[in-house]
A and B are shown apart, each in its own frame.
Chain A
Amino acid sequence: MSTLLAVLVDGVIYASWLFIIAAGLTIIYGVMRILNMAHGSFYALGAYAAASLVGVWLRGGRPPMGSYAMLALAAILVGVVAGPVIERGLLRFAYGKDEVVLVLITYAVFLILEDAVKLAWGVESYFVTEPYGLLGNLEMGPLSYPVYSGVLVLVAVAVGVALRWGIYGTRYGKLLTAVIHDREVSAALGIDVGRVYLVTFTLGTMLAAAGGALTAPMVSVVPGMGVEVIVLAFAVVVIGGLGSVPGAALGSLVVGLVRSAAVHWLPQVELFSIYLVMALVLAFRPRGLFVAAEARKI
């Protein structure tokens, strides 16, 4: 029984981590029709930035609780700097090209950023574990979890709620929805599609970076940490449906629970179980678990 609880709790924690990253990926696809392969690189940038900022903060002898603000700052900085630079400086020249070509462009960006990170931060690992242990542990029956994990879950929920409110409740969200449905018509109606793209990409990047920043205290920050994340994020958005935020939430839960179950009960399948689910969903519901209707073509 305790194992079932462990599977569920671990699953939810892992799902929260995934959701923060995947949500950004899915809205970038939904609005811009770009499957961003560089998403994992922004995640890594967020982690490195967090490591640096937290390091600077704590070295100055400042209150440790402030390190959380540093995590948030790292995410925001990476989003606000990397997002516009990549979108305005590169992607904008490729709009209108085939979807697959855009994916290849983001793949090239991923390659560039992989080395950019190494050039900027070197190849040694960084450790910023203070924020992780700072809040102590939470006892749940026979299990003990760091409160930090709970923070992760709360952040994921907050992101989900904020996105839902943002997209359905605000005027800007309605503009976003219009662009998602039809870019040309939106532009014809006077919507500044370029600005919508910029904001969306920046937001998506920020979320990826937030995922990385929040992860930094949990792992050693090393080059290549974005490489596995990107395929996991792909699995999540494919399962849930490309472009759907509720889909990303569902996909995260599915992947999180499947992985958790595998780790606890069948470790041999841990690695491939997620991709098996991804392949199965693609096989039976290629548009994901949240389908949308398709218009007539001829």
Chain B
Amino acid sequence: MSAILETTGLTKTFGAITAASDLHVRIEENTVVGLIGGNGAGKTTFINLVTGYLRPTAGTVRFEGRDITGLPPRRVTRLGICRSFQIPQVFDSLTTYENVLVGLGIVSMGRRAFAGSAPGGPAPEAAAEQVLTRFRLDAYRDELAGVLPEGLRKLLDIAMALAVKPRILLLDEPTSGVSADEKFGLMDLVLEVIREAGVTVLFVEHDMDIVRRYTQRILAFYEGRIIADGSPGAVLADAEVRRLVVGESEADVGGAPC
């Protein structure tokens, strides 16, 4: 299978600090990949580099074979890679509905900024309603995004990223800030929508239960490098990973090496 996303020697330094070091990653289409690692390990930096928020100091990023290294987020998004954020990035003073409407509006504008709605397809208002229903946000349609609880803001953030109909979706800690009993519900919903659309997903996660349950492959980060790359079972059993990422004293032995 061809790699939909490939980075070679991806490196980012800020003066004396190395945030990402020589990252070689090959992601296959239609897979769900987990990115784990402690704070500052380089997971978000990786996402920032791939999506163009940061320019790499060295290395390349290829998407579907095409070199996208150094392109700004705007271009990367249009090519088909979207992301959500650790701290949800939504439009606080607009309602949930308006958030999605504006997002869809941007997507349908394309290069013809002054054109009316795209020919064919549902009217933007109907399309926005569809998105809200799909993500079960319709009950909060007229609430200002700024006052939504964190879990819903996260969901809205992800919904907007998916509205772009990307080929790759990068989720940065989708369940952080969400209460324990809601985490699985959120991930179930998101992955259900994603599976329908045939999107490749990479998500950063600290909760190992979530990682074990939803991923087909894991990349473990530590101090800017990838220290393990493989199936969830293999990676989570790896001694280095257990020591540096998961934590030595993991009481929950129940879900251990399978």
Q: Do chains A and B touch in the complex (CB under 8 A)?
A: yes
Instruction: Judge whether B86 is part of the interface by a CB distance below 8 angstroms.
Output: yes
Main secondary structure of the interface of A (DSSP, over half): loop
Q: Report, as a range, how many residues of chain B touch the other chain.
A: under 10
Is B214 an interface residue when CB atoms closer than 8 A count as contact? no
Chain B nearest CB, measured from A48 CB (Å)? 44
Residues of A within 8 A of B87 (CB): 298
**What B residues does A298 contact at CB under 8 A?**
44, 48, 53, 85-87, 89
Judged by DSSP, the binding face of B is loop
Count A-side interface residues using an 8 Å CB cutoff: 1
Q: Give 1 or 0 for each of B132-167: 1 = CB within 8 Å of chain A CB.
A: 000000000000000000000000000000000000
Q: How far is the CB of A251 from chain B (nearest CB, A)?
A: 28
Shortest CB distance A272–B (Å): 35
Chain B nearest CB, measured from A294 CB (Å):
11
Question: Once bound together, how far apart are the Cα atoms of A292 and B86, in whole Å?
Answer: 26
A298 to B86 CA separation, bound complex (whole angstroms): 8
Whose C-beta in chain A lies nearest to the C-beta of B19? A296
* B15-64, CB < 8 A from A: 44, 48, 53
Chain B proximity mask over A254-298: 1 for CB below 8 Å, otherwise 0:
000000000000000000000000000000000000000000001
Bound Cα distance A298, B52 (Å): 13
* Complex contacts, B48 vs chain A, CB 8 Å: 298
Please name the residue on chain A nearest to B48 by beta carbon: A298
For chain B residues 57-116, which have a beta carbon within 8 Å of chain A? 85-87, 89
Bound complex: CA A298 to CA B53 (Å): 10
Interface hits, A85-144 → B, CB 8 Å: none
**In the complex the two chains form, what is the Cα distance from A298 to B87 in whole Å?**
8
Distance from B212 Cβ to chain A, minimum over Cβ atoms (Å): 27
Could you say which residues of chain A place their CB within 8 Å of the CB of B53? 298
The distance from the CB of A201 to the nearest CB of chain B, in whole angstroms, is 31
Binding site for A on B (CB under 8 A): 44, 48, 53, 85-87, 89
> Which residues of A line the B interface, CB within 8 A?
298
Instruction: Show 7 A/B contacts (Cβ-Cβ < 8 Å), sorted by A.
Output: A298-B44, A298-B48, A298-B53, A298-B85, A298-B86, A298-B87, A298-B89
Instruction: Report, nearest first, the 7 A-B pairs whose CB atoms are least far apart.
Output: A298-B85, A298-B87, A298-B53, A298-B86, A298-B48, A298-B89, A298-B44
